[in-house]
Amino acid sequence: MSDVDTQKYQHILVEYEGRVAFVTMNRPQRRNALSLEHMQELLACFKEIGERRDAGAVVLRGNGPAFCAGHDLSEMTGQEPEFYRHLFEVCTVLMETIQSIPQPVIAQVHGVATAAGCQLAASCDLVVAASSARFATPGVKIGLFCSTPMVALSRAVPAKLAMEMLLTGELISAHAMHAAGMVNRVVAADQLAAATRALAEQIVAASPTVVGLGKQAFYRQLNMPQHEAYTYTREVMANNASLADAQEGICAFLEKRPPQWQ
């Protein structure tokens, strides 16, 4: 059974199938460009999903030919500086929220992901891409360097590739992004939905409490010095070990039976 919310949002579609939430950017005529309203809807949606106990993973995808073509340039001409500051602040909060909610977010990238669209994919916890997908940060070509997309991109791929993408704006293939480490899996276009769904189902089979704890710990320790990271994560793991789901999982393993998560 699927639960579809068709009324709440103008620019996105939200559907729940089992314990997987599907968030579909639905501005195909604008190549899913991130207008301010679109980003605000995505932000509200991810915050709502983050509070739900019945959702264990999120798939982010796009309708139409593109995954996401970045910011909506049609609303970025002739504005006051405060508008631009607000626009990029909302964008920043959106990207940070994707990584702060307990559910892992998987980007299902079928077409181009450019500028803030590349940033969006890079901000997701996992990326599954069609072999025809392409990634780019082409802002330099129109006089607007992709500075905020650079934050996510430079944390997802090696520095030299990030600089090349930022300085040239050229499209990079899904296979190259897989080799660089930003894309987890590359599949044929007709296998993309199934492969993404299978990955999401693997995730939701685990304890949602433990997955959320682990996701939070991953991002917190990522840029810590090694000793500090071990100090932090051993405390996380000690607390994790005392949780009911950890005790259930250990007992289920020893007793050779499926665990029953709380």
Q: The CATH number of the domain where 243 resides is what?
A: 1.10.12
Domain-embedded: residue 259: no
Describe the chain by its helix, strand, coil percentages, rounded to 5. 50, 20, 30
CA distances from 85 to 79, 82, 137 (A): 10, 5, 20
pLDDT score of 18 more than 50: yes
**pLDDT tens by residue, 194-226:** 999 999 999 999 999 999 999 999 999 999 999
Residue 226 sits in the same domain as residue 188? no
Asked if pLDDT for residue 140 goes beyond 70, the answer is yes
Domain boundary among the residues 187, 204, 221 is at 204
Distance (Å, whole) CA 154 – CA 141 = 19
181 and 194 within one domain: yes
Domain total of the chain: 2
pLDDT interval class at 155 (50, 70, 90):
very high
Whole-model pTM?
A: 0.96
Where in the sequence is the domain holding 80, given as residue range(s)? 2-204
Same domain, 48 and 155: yes
Domain match, 24 and 57 both: yes
- Identify whether 34 is part of a domain: yes
Is 215 contained in some domain? yes
